[in-house]
Amino acid sequence: MFDYSARPDLLNGRVILVTGAGRGIGAAAAKAYAAHGATVLLLGKTEANLTQVYDEIEAAGHPQPAVIPFNLETALPHQYDELAAMIETEFGHLDGLLHNASIIGPRTPLEQLSGENFMRVMHVNVNAMFMLTSTLLPLLKLSQDASVVFTSSSVGRKGRAYWGAYGVSKFATEGLMQTLADEVDTVAAVRANSINPGATRTSMRAQAYPGENPLNNPTPEEIMPVYLYLMGPDSTGVNGQAFNAQ
């Protein structure tokens, strides 16, 4: 496990947007960021899930989060602009962006993968992530110390059979991270890095490995050290790096 212990006030005063914040790793990250002082913007497509995370953060006495229902699969360009405008009006800037939301798609040989399924996975996992990044970058540049964290995968670092669109999308994620990191290097107080969560006890993992005993994998809460490290000031100057949570 990534060795890092975050001090309680690590993220005090920071505004951090988390995609896919309704469950799994996204929900765990949102709660961890809030517990360390951040105002968290909970973005996801299922409002009921986001509201549950909101309620848990409120009940714990952490800074009041915001619920942002937003469907990355269907959102149009103007909706990204409206999202950025809303964040600027309400919060003035953005200190962190965790790209966590993605879909797995069919695990099948490329030969049997339909173009429709390939494009759907690439749209959610890559196109929407690009749209969010480019639209929110001006708000991140208004921060004194901003961090963009991309969620990768071991199959996005070395190709593996039958991971098709998902694997390709994670290679693209690494490419987007590296490109952004090189562009902001020394010219903006923004850094970009990626995290490979590894095998974690989530519904997506269960979908990919139905025969696996989930109890053998750590919970999302247990892999949070690297997520906290990359969002806080201790990682200032760390840019363009690919991290493993485990």
Which residue ranges make up each domain of the chain? 13-242
Nearest to 50 by CA among 122, 100, 125, 14: 100
- For 65, the token pair is 């989060």
Question: What's the confidence (pLDDT) of residue 51?
Answer: 98
Per-residue CA distances from 95 to 70, 92, 143, 195 (Å): 20, 10, 5, 18
- Residue (of 156, 158, 199) closest to 177 by Cα position: 156
Considering the candidates 33, 54, 166, 229, report the single residue annotated as catalytic: 166
Q: What is the 3-state secondary structure (H, E, C) of 79-145?
A: HHHHHHHHHHHHHCCCCEEEECCCCCCCCCCHHHCCHHHHHHHHHHHHHHHHHHHHHHHHHHHCCCC
- Average pLDDT by stretches of 10, the chain with 246 residues: 95 98 97 98 98 98 98 98 98 98 95 97 98 98 98 96 97 98 96 95 85 89 97 98 97
Q: In Å, what is the CA distance from 74 to each residue of 45, 78, 104, 123, 133?
A: 10, 12, 17, 9, 17
Nearest-angstrom CA–CA distance, 166 and 104: 5
| pLDDT value for 101 | 97
Assess whether 227 carries a catalytic annotation: no
Give the pLDDT score at 209: 84
Which class is domain 13-242? alpha beta
Residue 150 is predicted with a pLDDT of 98
The pLDDT assigned to 204 comes to: 84
